[in-house]
Amino acid sequence: MMVSVVLLGCVGLAAASCGGGSAVNKQDGTVRGHVVVVNPVAGPLVSAVTTSVRLVRDGKPVDTESIPPKRSFHFEVRPGTYAFEVVGIRGCTTTTASVRPGEVKRTDIVCDPSPAAG
């Protein structure tokens, strides 16, 4: 009898841990986008630069994601309004997005690293 109680306790713990780590909170939202370089001359030069997108809420950095060569980014966020800033390329706009629970938003950040855009 005691063995079955211990086993049930272990099964309960295993089931609780299975649902925890990888599940996305249904109250979170998602923001996806790309960093778009509009200057064709600077584009190849910029592709060699290490770049990241900084997520800012209420003026404070919340998260930073390194950007792969295709320049796409993806954040799971709590509902609210966020600013997205590019680090590593000059001449980029700061983009904002307001996210509601369960919503998937798409936002792109445009960069023109030419000296005239400066």
- Per-residue model confidence as pLDDT tens digits over 17-53: 333 333 456 789 999 999 988 876 665 556 656 789 9
Amino acid type, 110: V
Domains along the sequence of the chain with CATH: 27-111 (2.60.40.1120)
pTM: 0.68
Position of tokens 């919503």?
A: 103
* pLDDT at residue 25 in the model: 66
- The H helix count followed by the E strand count for the chain is 2, 8
Per the prediction, the chain carries an average pLDDT of 76
- Which position has the higher pLDDT, 68 or 111? 111
Q: What is the pLDDT of residue 44?
A: 56
Position 23 scores a pLDDT of 41
